[in-house]
Chain A
């Protein structure tokens, strides 16, 4: 039975078999390190369950290879109970390890008739050896990460690229002579500037300019008062507003309709000449027909 168990462990994981299980020590040492109030390990400091378990071991200055992992179940659960609710998403991993610890602990407590070494179930690998192997592997990569972290500030390589050139030499940049000013100083200075600046006059209300037909007709009449004929283009010489042009043209048509003026245009886009109709002929019906449609466009 014993050989079967160790054989399956070997088949599953090389490390599982390579790691010595603290044979016979589990029952004896169970309970050590438990309820150790002097060591507080906060779960917020850990991203994962293995990190937490490792910290519990290290805070007690225990050795991964020999510590009975079941004895840490209580301390682990205490730390887990302190998890804030908003971290539930990452809690499943913690719970899985907790379950493993409880399993290990329960197996260590069960009376065994044959040999104390045979903790493992017959068909499954020893959960304690497995967790121990995971802890060891995790610790190696955690330590490798810490070693990388120690390198990151001092030993950086820089490649020659346009970004570096633009942000430094080519742009004539120099490292700052003094550390940058704190934001609070800048905001105080900015507030001072705002106070010095005289208040700007408020903008007047913006209103749409209304151009009426009567207004433009009055302009045309006024122009015709001093002369017999007025050229529309000359009348509008200084006007740039399209609406004024259009309304003036409409005013001209209106005057034509009222037979106050006659309109002539010799060719498309040519000057539109408005002439006063003598009062005697004001009733002549054909005056309006000389308007060329093209002029309207």
Chain B
């Protein structure tokens, strides 16, 4: 609602975009905003939005509020070091994830976008249930469909994943071994020595 109302005004003239304006917008939005959405609201170029997002990220680096980025969307969230304090205030205690769930999450996080076949090939076991559970908890999201035969669903992570694990972007994921990191770039997703995981 708020964005629509703003959009009505912003469509006519450019409002410019300062770091403070961007911060205020994200503060009110209460949801992740796409960079192009911000550009349209403010009537400015996408490049300016990117620059201001970078400036805001730097200026918030030492603050209690941080800029979180996933894909081309950004949002404000509390700093990771305040996590325990906020959780105590809210009185919320999210259930801990099981070992299989964490495995699937790690595979999706590092290899996204990836299909369920990729997950099952790495784990060597049917992962349908785990994937559905993580989808339900929004820790993984559907990113679209692969062009591979059968057009399997591609999974990735979203803001809920970043927030859950205290990351402001996927770049903050601890690096995997160099060997695996090298393979991520090379190997196609949908074939490989995975008879145990793919045959079903």
Chain A residues with Cβ below 8 Å from B86 are 156, 158
Interface with A: B5-13, B47-55, B76-84, B140-148, which one?
B76-84
Q: Smallest distance from the beta carbon of B194 to chain A beta carbons, Å?
A: 8
Q: Smallest distance from the beta carbon of A103 to chain B beta carbons, Å?
A: 12
Is the beta-carbon distance between A175 and B125 smaller than 8 angstroms? no
Q: Smallest distance from the beta carbon of B71 to chain A beta carbons, Å?
A: 16
Chain A residues with Cβ below 8 Å from B84 are 154
Indicate the member of A51, A144, A168, A173 with the most B CB atoms within 10 Å. Answer: A144
A226 and B138 alpha carbons, distance in the complex (Å): 82
Is the beta-carbon distance between B125 and A151 smaller than 8 angstroms? no
Is B126 located at the chain interface by the 8 A CB criterion?
Answer: yes
Is the beta-carbon distance between A13 and B192 smaller than 8 angstroms? yes
Q: Which label, helix, strand, loop or mixed, suits the secondary structure of the B interface?
A: helix
Is the beta-carbon distance between A90 and B125 smaller than 8 angstroms? yes
Chain A residues with Cβ below 8 Å from B68 are 157, 159
Is B20 located at the chain interface by the 8 A CB criterion?
Answer: no
Is A60 located at the chain interface by the 8 A CB criterion?
Answer: no
Is the beta-carbon distance between B78 and A157 smaller than 8 angstroms? yes
Q: Provided the pairs A148-B105, A148-B165, A175-B89 are in contact, do residues A48 and B123 lie with their beta carbons within 8 angstroms?
A: yes
* Chain A minimum-CB-distance residue to B78: A158
Indicate the member of B78, B80, B107, B124 with the most A CB atoms within 10 Å. Answer: B124
Q: Provided the pairs A141-B107, A155-B166 are in contact, do residues A18 and B179 lie with their beta carbons within 8 angstroms?
A: yes
Is the beta-carbon distance between B27 and A160 smaller than 8 angstroms? yes
* Chain B minimum-CB-distance residue to A143: B106
Interface size class of A (residues with CB under 8 A): 35 or more
Is the beta-carbon distance between B102 and A149 smaller than 8 angstroms? yes
* Chain A minimum-CB-distance residue to B30: A161
Determine which of A138, A144, A151, A176 lies in contact with B176 in the assembled complex, contact meaning CB atoms within 8 Å. A144
Is the beta-carbon distance between A146 and B168 smaller than 8 angstroms? no
Is A75 located at the chain interface by the 8 A CB criterion?
Answer: no
Is B90 located at the chain interface by the 8 A CB criterion?
Answer: yes
Is the beta-carbon distance between B195 and A96 smaller than 8 angstroms? yes
Residue pairs across A and B with CB atoms within 8 Å: the count is 167
Is A25 located at the chain interface by the 8 A CB criterion?
Answer: no
Determine which of B88, B106, B167 lies in contact with A141 in the assembled complex, contact meaning CB atoms within 8 Å. B106
Q: Which label, helix, strand, loop or mixed, suits the secondary structure of the A interface?
A: helix
Is A24 located at the chain interface by the 8 A CB criterion?
Answer: no
Is B60 located at the chain interface by the 8 A CB criterion?
Answer: no
B51-78 interface (Cβ within 8 A of A): 66, 68, 75-78
Chain B residues with Cβ below 8 Å from A93 are 124-126, 196-197
Is B122 located at the chain interface by the 8 A CB criterion?
Answer: yes
Is the beta-carbon distance between A176 and B91 smaller than 8 angstroms? yes
Chain A residues with Cβ below 8 Å from B94 are 152, 156
* Chain A minimum-CB-distance residue to B32: A159
Is the beta-carbon distance between A15 and B183 smaller than 8 angstroms? yes
Interface with B: A34-42, A129-137, A235-243, A262-270, which one?
A129-137
Determine which of B164, B177, B186, B192 lies in contact with A140 in the assembled complex, contact meaning CB atoms within 8 Å. B177
* A interface, CB within 8 angstroms of B: 12-16, 18, 47-51, 89-90, 92-93, 96-97, 125, 130, 133-134, 136-138, 140-142, 144-149, 151-162, 164, 167-168, 173, 175-176
Sample of 26 A–B contacts (CB below 8 Å): A48-B100, A89-B126, A130-B193, A136-B179, A137-B122, A137-B180, A141-B110, A142-B103, A144-B110, A145-B103, A147-B174, A148-B165, A149-B97, A152-B96, A152-B164, A154-B83, A155-B81, A155-B165, A156-B83, A157-B163, A157-B164, A158-B77, A158-B83, A159-B75, A161-B30, A161-B31
